[in-house]
Structures are given as structure tokens and as C-alpha cells.
Amino acid sequence: MLYSKIEGEGKPFLILHGFLGMSDNWKTLGLEFSKLPYQVHMLDLRNHGRSLQSPVFNYQVLAQDVIEYCAENKLENIILLGHSMGGKVAMEIACTHPNLVEKLIVADIGPKFYPQHHQSILQGLLSVDFSLKPSRSDVDEQVSKYVTDFGTRQFLLKSLYWEKPGQLNYRFNINYLNNNIDEIGKELSENMIFEKKTLFLRGENSNYILNDDVANIQKHFPNMILQTVSSAGHWLHAENPKEFYNYVNDFLNN
């Protein structure tokens, strides 16, 4: 079963985080969306956060986990928002279960194939030897040898937790994720189409959704619009949350 944080009352609004993220990444915006009002469900996907861990990891099982979560919680006509990997999961759900999803929001990812580009991050995370009982600063220092960007390390190390007194670990299952890394970049199946209203958001400084990608997005999501969040990269919801929120709010109200 998937772990979730639920805020507010109203129409169900599910938020799916990206690769190596968790529900906590969406706490601030989730609280804001819950005031609109929606019942916001911020989920930890399989092998992330506090959710189930499994060596089976692909977009089909990730989508099925969320579909089962909706069934268990009797959620219908949902608003579905996914960022990056979570956006791919959201697309899979919307295309295979269109009656479940009322509106779809996809943040900085397209349906196309993406080449593997997380090698240095994975190497850094895997290089930490937790049997030596490192401190948080020790982990940061070790990962910094592979991941020089401070902001990226801060994001990754949010998943550090005290497994028991004196023993840190990651909340994500780094071994299962590394073993299945080729699944992350896979494209949406050619025949998948979702005809309801869909908002794609991209970061102005991100290269995940290019102008050349729009025709392919429209093939899968003919009722789509694309908005660009200014002064933001791939983590657009964290880098410019106000503009991100405004685009989503406008889309939901129209």
C-alpha cells in the first residue's frame, strides 16, 4: 500500500513526486491547494518515502499502485498532478483509466523517451557506507564527490532518516531503483491517448520539454495546453512555487 499525507476536504487531488523524491517535497504547495478547496493526497510512490519496497519497478506497476490506492480510498473524478517520473506515472494512469481522472497536470516531463542521466547521482548515493554509521554531514560530504550542486544534494538528502538511534539510511530503496534505472526514461506507449483537459508545465531553464516535443505531446494529449514557469529549472514547483500555483489554479478554474 502507498503512504500518503492528506490535507483538506473536497474533490480529490493527487500529487505524485519525481525520482528519488517523496510526498514531503510537496508539503507547502499541497497545503495551498487544499485551501481551494481540494482534498490533497501527497503520495510516496513505490520504493520511495514510506511506501512499499519491491524489486519490481516500472510505470505499469507504479500506475497500478495509485489506481489501487484510489479504489481503497473510494476516490473518483480525481485531479492528478505528477512531476518528472511522477508525471510519467500520471500519464500512464490517465491514458489507461480515463474515467478515473477528471483533469491531468504534468510538470516538466513529456511522453517521449529520455536517455539515462542519473548516473552520477546514483553513484554518489550508492557510495555511502552506512555500516560506518556516518552522520548527515558525512553523507553530504561523500555524496558531494559525485553531486557538486548543493541544491540537488539538499533535495536528495531529505530522504535521510534515523533507521534506529545512531543509524542513518535512505527512505528510498537505492538498490531497487538503481537496478531498474532504465525504466525511468521509457516512453509512453504509442497508442495511449487521454482526451480530457491536460496542463503541461515546463521550467524556463529546463530542457525536459522542448518546442519540438509539442507535436508528440499533442498526439497523446489532444486537449493539452503548455505553460512555461519563468526563472525555474526542472524543480519548477520549488524554484517558482507562486507561478506554478497560479498556472495550476487557473487551469482548474477553467
Kindly name the residue from 51, 84, 159, 206 that is annotated as catalytic. Answer: 84
Kindly name the residue from 17, 83, 220, 234 that is annotated as catalytic. Answer: 234
Same domain, 138 and 49: no
Into how many domains does the chain fold?
A: 2
Q: Which pLDDT band, with edges at 50, 70 and 90, does 117 fall under?
A: confident
Question: What single letter denotes the amino acid at residue 221?
Answer: F
From 179, 214, 229, the end of a domain falls on: 179
Q: Which pLDDT band, with edges at 50, 70 and 90, does 159 fall under?
A: very high
What single DSSP character describes residue 182? G
From 179, 202, 218, the end of a domain falls on: 179
Report the distance separating Cα 153 and Cα 147, nearest Å.
7
Report the distance separating Cα 37 and Cα 7, nearest Å.
10
pLDDT > 70: what percent of the chain? 100
Full domain range(s) for residue 226: 4-114+184-253
- Identify the three-state secondary structure at position 122: helix
Predicted confidence (pLDDT) per residue in 175-225, tens digit: 999 999 999 999 999 999 999 999 999 999 999 999 999 999 999 999 999
Instruction: Judge contact between 75 and 85, C-beta under 8 A.
Output: no
Report the distance separating Cα 204 and Cα 220, nearest Å.
23
Q: Which pLDDT band, with edges at 50, 70 and 90, does 1 fall under?
A: confident
Active site annotation includes 17:
no
Cα–Cα separations (whole angstroms), residue 15 to 18, 26, 42, 178, 223:
10, 8, 5, 24, 21
- Its pTM surpasses 0.85: yes
Same domain, 198 and 98: yes
Helices (H), the chain: 27-34, 59-72, 85-96, 119-126, 136-144, 150-157, 174-179, 214-220, 236-239, 241-253
Same domain, 72 and 22: yes
Active site annotation includes 84:
yes
Q: For all residues of the chain together, what is the average pLDDT?
A: 97
Residue 66 pLDDT: 98
User: Helix crossing, 150-157 with 119-126: angle to 10°?
Assistant: 50
Checking DSSP bridges between strand 78-83 and strand 101-107, what pairing results, if any? parallel
Residue 121 pLDDT: 96
Same domain, 170 and 45: no
Predicted confidence (pLDDT) per residue in 19-42, tens digit: 999 999 999 999 999 999 899 999
Same domain, 32 and 59: yes
From 179, 194, 219, the end of a domain falls on: 179
Same domain, 199 and 166: no
Same domain, 45 and 67: yes
What single DSSP character describes residue 109? -
- Identify the three-state secondary structure at position 128: coil
Instruction: Judge contact between 171 and 46, C-beta under 8 A.
Output: no
Same domain, 134 and 227: no
Same domain, 23 and 107: yes
Same domain, 46 and 142: no
pLDDT > 90: what percent of the chain? 97
The dihedral over CA atoms of 144, 146, 149, 150, expressed in degrees to the nearest 10, equals -20
In 3D space, the residue among 193, 190, 199, 176 whose CA is nearest the CA of residue 250 turns out to be 199
Report the distance separating Cα 200 and Cα 212, nearest Å.
14
Instruction: Judge contact between 130 and 167, C-beta under 8 A.
Output: yes
Q: Which pLDDT band, with edges at 50, 70 and 90, does 104 fall under?
A: very high
Cα–Cα separations (whole angstroms), residue 115 to 11, 125, 186, 234:
36, 20, 8, 16
Same domain, 24 and 134: no
Checking DSSP bridges between strand 160-164 and strand 167-170, what pairing results, if any? antiparallel
CATH of residue 9: 3.40.50.1820
Q: Provide mean pLDDT across the span 132-138.
A: 96
Checking DSSP bridges between strand 38-43 and strand 11-16, what pairing results, if any? parallel
Same domain, 222 and 245: yes
